[in-house]
Structure 1
């Protein structure tokens, strides 16, 4: 049976209801933090703001602390409530999601470190147009994946899954362009390599957003769609009850 956003508020135990709601609330708070980390890291790179880049790097500890807090809350729920069915899927989905959010925070830190290197260099940088474009794409994926999780929206989740393929294509195209430019101008190698690392980090953010969307499908439908073909899955995932 599919579940909805209010399924976990119908337990006899009011305390259990509250614990499950807190898990979702804290996960959304962590999601908001890592989303801002990515946004600030990209802004720091595009604007040459090394101070903001340092702040992003330093704030990574907050993301790590939130993951530990949420994991501890999930462990307590599993031990004390022994949840079953959709409740168990929610707890497992939250545990998986926090891991991906923590890794997105790590990718934001990588972007920030490269922003600091490029800012110290001070010369014109090739590839910022590609960074801006792909960053907007993956940030939307992340935002939509978090919204899908909050609303238990499998339609939006599947949209995120489809978008990941487009990001992969954009990433490959940008990397080919930068490789060509680097071979034509050896003086640009250092700065272009930094931009390529940033693009790689952004592509990984898209992968983790895709994972979050897959957890939504698992949570709502009970289907594990990892390593599955999107076209084959859509009729089953999007089928209304």
Structure 2
């Protein structure tokens, strides 16, 4: 009876933590979409909402880490149970970093609204952010369902985000070369594109943690290397 009580108490505690992870994930998904929308629509109020939501997300990460530490101390989980807790902590850390990138995107909105828009760039950034958000949704679904195949699919989709980034990188170079007045806005937009690409990397890390949770092993060399701007000089030619 005592063992059953301990097991059920552990399960309840873990279920509560996983509910917090899902809440955090939902807030981060919204932050990604809202940050991109605020840029495209030049909506400073929405950008402010994204910046303010970051504090809520940070607080959730802190709460999740505290609850995980308590669960380890009180329940002394082993094997699979410990793997679940460690995965939760890794996932929450990645979610917090994604939210930071969304906040940084929103911060640049105040500067960009004072400049002439760069044709097509905002819509392209929003599509890129939407792809990252969909990847995150699937990564969280894979976590809940313990679906390693879906997680691996998310890992491979990061290449699409990298290719979007590479295309935008070239586009911004073209705009800057055509008109020096485009240099400042394009530099801001490039940082936003890079932040979005980094979000994709953190989503990929979440998916890798799901594979670890399900199989007990991290995937070997599954993550595709799609961002070649730092190693391929041809991407700097327009």
Asked if Structure 1 and Structure 2 have the same fold, meaning a TM-score greater than 0.5 normalized by the shorter chain, the answer is: yes
How many corresponding residue pairs?
220
- The reply on whether 1:165 has 2:166 as its aligned counterpart is no
| Offset, 1:165 | 1.5
Query: Corresponding residue for 2:39?
Result: 45
**SS of match in other structure, 1:79:** helix
Query: Corresponding residue for 1:217?
Result: 211
Distance 2:117 2:131 in 1: 24
Distance 2:217 2:166 in 1: 30
- The reply on whether 1:141 has 2:135 as its aligned counterpart is yes
- Cα deviation 1:126-160 (Å, max 9, x = unaligned): 41232022112111111111111111111110110
Query: Corresponding residue for 1:190?
Result: 184
Tell me, yes or no, if the aligned pair for 1:27 and 1:70 is still in contact at 8 Å. Answer: yes
Query: Corresponding residue for 2:235?
Result: none
Tell me, yes or no, if the aligned pair for 1:11 and 1:17 is still in contact at 8 Å. Answer: no
Query: Corresponding residue for 2:16?
Result: 22
Query: Corresponding residue for 2:69?
Result: 75
What TM-score comes out, normalization by structure 1 length? 0.87
**SS of match in other structure, 1:125:** coil
| Offset, 1:124 | 2.3
Q: Which runs of 5 or more structure 2 residues have no equivalent in the other structure?
A: 225-238
**SS of match in other structure, 1:124:** coil
Distance 1:11 1:123 in 2: 64
Query: Corresponding residue for 2:233?
Result: none
Distance 2:40 2:122 in 1: 7
Q: Which runs of 5 or more structure 1 residues have no equivalent in the other structure?
A: 1-9, 232-241
Cα RMSD after superposing both structures: 1.6
Q: Structure 2 vs 1, CA of residues 125 and 111 (structure 1 numbering), >3 Å: closer, same or farther?
A: same
| Offset, 1:230 | 5.4
Tell me, yes or no, if the aligned pair for 1:30 and 1:101 is still in contact at 8 Å. Answer: yes
Distance 2:15 2:179 in 1: 55
Moved more, 165-174 or 95-104: 165-174
**SS of match in other structure, 1:59:** helix
Distance 2:6 2:53 in 1: 40
Distance 1:170 1:11 in 2: 51
| Offset, 1:41 | 0.7
Tell me, yes or no, if the aligned pair for 1:54 and 1:116 is still in contact at 8 Å. Answer: no
Distance 2:7 2:56 in 1: 32
- Structure 1 runs (4+) deviating above 3 angstroms are none
